[in-house]
Amino acid sequence: MNKGLTFLRDAISGSPAPAAPTDVSATRKRGPQPVDGTPGRARAVVDAVLPVVDGGRFAVKRIAGEPIEIEAHVFTDGHDVPRVMLQWWKEGSSTRQEIPMKLRYNDEWLASFVAPAPGRYAYTVVAWVDAFESWHHELERRVDPEDIRIAARVGAHEIEAAAKRAGDGADARMLSAWAQALEEGAADPEIDADVLKALALDEQRSDAARRHPDRSLEVSFSADLPLTVERKRARFSAWYELFPRSAGDTPGRHGTLRDVAARLPLIASMGFDIVYLPPIHPIGRVQRKGRNNALGAQPGDVGSPWAIGAEEGGHKSILPELGTAEDFRALVASAAANGLELAMDIAFQCAPDHPYVRDHPEWFRWRPDGTVQYAENPPKKYQDIYPFNFESDDWQGLWTELKSVLDHWIAEGVHVFRVDNPHTKSFAFWEWVVGEVKREHPDVIFLAEAFTRPKVMHRLAKLGYTQSYTYFTWRNTKQELTRYFTELTEAPGVDYFRPNVWPNTPDILHEALQGGHAAVFKSRLVLAATLAATYGIYGPAYELLEHLPRGPSSEEYLDSEKYQLRNWDWSPDAGLRPLITRINEIRREHPALQANRSLRFLDVENDQLIAYMKQSADGRDTIVTVVNLDPHNAQWGWVALDPHLLDIEPQEPFQMHDLLTDQRFIWRGSHHYVRLDPNLPAHVMALRRRVRDERDFDYYL
């Protein structure tokens, strides 16, 4: 046995060296100082931490229980090696979790963590130039025996220092012995440099040294970045909107909350998650609107549910015709029993006879003629609606009262709010109230109904809204859809703006639907449900192909439920219900459709065919959707889908399984023929990869 080997064996045990006093670095107050307040000797740089929204002014949004990927750009001068740690913590917690980050390439370091529950979190990145790691990295590349000998002695010093930091446990003893062995080996000319190098690079010992780094020159990224973690429905949900007053089955009878409860099994069976009800509060009588938005209501006209408040009460009350607080609680319970959640409409505005107007005149803007300023956008007037004056001297009283409305309904079991026109109320109010509510109830979901200018919509999303209505309704051509959904899935918006797309709403019957072609209703449904992880329809109008507008250039429905009772066909197979049921089933079975980030459009040389792909985060689930946008004609073309994108060999066949028709197509190569008829204008196809079993039999899985 040569001396090197003996030495290696001996080196395994050893006794710790005595502790030396720690170096105290100069702490002069004057003289040069780093601009950013880091220690002057610190050489690590944390240049960027991602994701980030507006430099940390607003929170990034993620989902509880899912990996949250963090990237940092970290480096130092020269060839030394930084060590990089991701730190994350729950708001208010005094301890930070720490996860080592790994270098991908190009100075990009990665780590991920899982926030266990909804709530407010924060993260940042710290780094230091690691003397041990730098020495280790250099030594790996050393070849000159004399250099290796010197390096061993340098390393011995670093390791001895690590031993001191380790205190007096097993690590300390091992490190001290290792340092001593390196010193001795370096001094002994009979020890081979290669043997010395192998000892110095010993991975088990190195790991022990890494456990006790010198972090005195640690630097931190310039900001702690806020993070809002929500439950999965914040990202993936299917909404169904209906008017309770039309939920009954007797024409002319005012529907009730009990009628709604009776509809829940049907809605649940269609695969929806959230049932959204327009306002259920007492409706103003003063300036009440008649059918089709007529200025004067006729006797018996029920008025608009958004003209909230009358003698019977305001935002915390229930319209007597709909039922009682008891009925509401029963409805909430029934929803839960059906696997559904109730979403309540929050419209912070008042009918002229709302009790607030009498009790809190200071919350409204008064005109010189002694009347309250109603909502208007000249020359349009909404005399039945009084907006709140957020410049009121009693703004704090107003904010407090409005929050109490949310608190009231949360106490009644509502955890999803669809907020009407949030862009016409103070942004500072929303940032405060959404923040406060979510601090107390992290599972509450807020959907912003802001059909307005893009920067305004983005601000609402930044300041805390969970989901946002979009321009989807007005994006109909292939080019419009491609551009818009590409934008929606890009940073920075993708980190805070969660689209909730609707092919119709009670306010928007798009021209494309007014022809009443089932093909358009089908294609818009498939687009909504597969382009976006969250979508909704206003039913039963949608599935029953309701399509007549109030007037020639109007997007309003004729005989809209907004102003009158309607009566609908509630049979399970009516209209598009079977298709909707299947689509929602597919969405639930396929994680690829439960997030938006992976969306990628595929070329098809036919402007009437749009094709796109989504994949689950783990890459295991792939859905390709192709939609024919032409309601009149069959369309065909070649979809470009490079098998490389799917991790499939160029000439390897793969199966596309159409989940709507159960047809199975074998594709191979990069261009694939599709043909779609207006009768069923979409393929929603799952990728099945070829597998060969032990009998040499091919099948697709």
Q: Between residues 41 and 441, which has the closer beta carbon with respect to its own copies?
A: 41
Q: Annotated binding residue at 384?
A: yes
Q: Between residues 38 and 622, which has the closer beta carbon with respect to its own copies?
A: 38
- Number of residues in contact with its own copies under rule CB under 8 A: 83
Name the minimum Å distance from CB 565 to its own copies. 32
Name the minimum Å distance from CB 10 to its own copies. 22
Q: What does the block give as tokens for 538?
A: 């206003």
Q: Which residue numbers are catalytic?
A: 420, 449
Q: What does the block give as tokens for 255?
A: 């529907």
Q: Annotated binding residue at 563?
A: yes
Q: What does the block give as tokens for 84?
A: 């990089």
Stretch in the footprint of its own copies (CB under 8 A) among 75-83, 306-314, 607-615, 616-624: 75-83
Name the minimum Å distance from CB 373 to its own copies. 9
Q: Between residues 106 and 651, which has the closer beta carbon with respect to its own copies?
A: 106
Stretch in the footprint of its own copies (CB under 8 A) among 62-70, 86-94, 432-440, 441-449: 432-440
DSSP conformation letters of 72-99: EEEEESTT--EEEEEEEEETT-S--EEE
CA distance 606 to 283: 50
Site for its own copies in 49-68 (CB under 8 A): 54-57
Site for its own copies in 460-479 (CB under 8 A): 462-463
Site for its own copies in 376-405 (CB under 8 A): 376-379, 387, 390-396, 399-400, 403
Site for its own copies in 605-634 (CB under 8 A): none
Site for its own copies in 220-259 (CB under 8 A): 222-223
Name the minimum Å distance from CB 206 to its own copies. 17
| 8 A C-beta contact, residue 561 and residue 242 | no
Question: Is 398 buried (19+), middle (13-18) or exposed (0-12) by CB count in 10 A?
Answer: buried
Q: Between residues 400 and 486, which has the closer beta carbon with respect to its own copies?
A: 400
560: Cβ contacts below 8 Å, ≥ 6 apart: 292, 293, 506, 550
Name the minimum Å distance from CB 636 to its own copies. 30
DSSP conformation letters of 247-275: -SSSTTSPP-HHHHHHHHHHHHHTT-SEE
Q: Between residues 38 and 470, which has the closer beta carbon with respect to its own copies?
A: 38
Q: Between residues 321 and 436, which has the closer beta carbon with respect to its own copies?
A: 436
Q: Tell me the CA end-to-end span of the chain in Å, nearest whole number.
A: 57
| SS3 label, residue 292 | helix
Alpha-helix residue ranges (DSSP H) falling in 169-290: 170-187, 193-200, 203-210, 257-269
Q: Which of 15, 18, 20, 28 touches its own copies (CB under 8 A)? A: 28
- Give all strands (DSSP E) within 397-556, no chain letters: 416-420, 445-449, 467-469, 499-500, 534-538
- Roughly what angle, to the nearest 10 degrees, separates helices 203-210 and 145-165? 40
Q: Which of 40, 413, 631, 643 touches its own copies (CB under 8 A)? A: 40
Q: Between residues 413 and 435, which has the closer beta carbon with respect to its own copies?
A: 435
Site for its own copies in 4-23 (CB under 8 A): 23
Site for its own copies in 128-167 (CB under 8 A): 129, 138-139, 141-144, 147, 150, 153-154, 157
Positive/negative CA dihedral, 283, 465, 276, 118: negative
Name the minimum Å distance from CB 79 to its own copies. 5
Stretch in the footprint of its own copies (CB under 8 A) among 167-175, 420-428, 467-475, 574-582: 420-428
Q: Which of 32, 189, 251, 551 touches its own copies (CB under 8 A)? A: 32
Q: Annotated binding residue at 535?
A: no
CA distance 412 to 400: 18
Under rule CB under 8 A, residue 92 binds its own copies: no
| 8 A C-beta contact, residue 188 and residue 1 | no
| 8 A C-beta contact, residue 526 and residue 627 | yes
Q: Between residues 36 and 677, which has the closer beta carbon with respect to its own copies?
A: 36
Instruction: Give whole-number Cα distances, 675 to 54, 481, 635, in Å.
Output: 45, 20, 6
Q: Annotated binding residue at 584?
A: no
Name the minimum Å distance from CB 529 to its own copies. 30
673: Cβ contacts below 8 Å, ≥ 6 apart: 636, 637, 638, 639
CA distance 478 to 501: 16
Q: Which of 315, 458, 475, 498 touches its own copies (CB under 8 A)? A: 458
Instruction: Give φ, ψ of 657 to 5 degrees.
Output: -105, 110
CA distance 405 to 85: 43
Q: Which of 83, 231, 235, 459 touches its own copies (CB under 8 A)? A: 459
Residue showing tokens 């006794």? 15
Name the minimum Å distance from CB 606 to its own copies. 25
| SS3 label, residue 171 | helix
Site for its own copies in 338-367 (CB under 8 A): 367
Stretch in the footprint of its own copies (CB under 8 A) among 43-51, 303-311, 504-512, 569-577: 43-51
- 622-628 and 219-220 strand pairing: unpaired
**Residues annotated in the binding site for alpha-maltose 1-phosphate, as ranges?**
289, 349, 384, 421, 562-563
**Residues annotated in the binding site, as ranges?**
289, 349, 384, 421, 562-563
